[in-house]
Amino acid sequence: MDASSDHGAASRATRLVLASASPRRLALLQQVGIEPDSLLPADIDETPRKSEPPRDLARRLARDKLAAAEAALHGAQDATPTWLLSADTVVAVGRRVLPKAELPDEAADCLRMLSGRQHRVYTAVCLLSPKGRRERVIETRVRFKRLSGRDIQGYIDSGEWRGKAGGYAIQGIAGAFVVKLVGSYSAVVGLPLYETVSLLDGEGYPIRAGWAAAA
């Protein structure tokens, strides 16, 4: 049996559902040879609670996304062993959570706050497998250069910030703003690859089944 046959057999025997609409999280999984069988975005209220620490917010939202996706799958007449994966990313300066910017003024405010200082990015990952539930919260420290008015206006004009936590996408133009990063780069993008793959592997998902096809 060749490698493609092995992958086909594995995909029929298992199912991976990504509870996210993020193209970045999907691309990160595909980068390491993992192709979800389906996407199941969860529509939840992401408003922080009063005095809720950023780490706790990331964990709660990832759990809520997992629960919403699990409820959507509940009752499906499918005996295929399923792994359900969710994640959420929160950008914070101290205890202040920065929004997922939707308006230019929001993004500009975020960039001015991040300019010349360190901030923290918390990405929580939750996994529901046939064995049970597992989760991790990854903290990454990022320092931006001091941004000029031209930097901020140019970035606003790019539109890259729209819908991004903290008003920036590190995998794009904003990568040029980063002076120092301590932790997981992929977690800042949206999904910590080492921790996610370790969770899947530890819970019995065939993470290597697609490697030959990915190569």
Rounded CA gap, 95 and 53, in Å? 6
Buried (b) or exposed (e) across 129-150, using 16+ Cβ within 10 A? beeeeebbbbbbebebeebeee
Residue 208 buriedness (CB in 10 A; 0-12 / 13-18 / 19+): middle
Task: Specify whether 88 is catalytic.
Answer: yes
Query: Cα–Cα distances in Å, from 133 out to 67, 127, 174?
Result: 11, 6, 35
**3-state DSSP call for residue 174?**
helix
Q: Which of 37, 88, 105, 157 is catalytic?
A: 88
Of 204, 74, 69, give the one whose Cα is nearest residue 130. Answer: 204
Query: Cα–Cα distances in Å, from 146 out to 43, 44, 188, 196?
Result: 36, 35, 20, 33
3-state helix, strand, coil in the chain (%, to 5): 40, 25, 35
Rounded CA gap, 65 and 86, in Å? 6
Q: Rounded to the nearest 5°, which phi and psi values hold at 22? A: -70, 120
User: Which of the residues are catalytic?
Assistant: 88
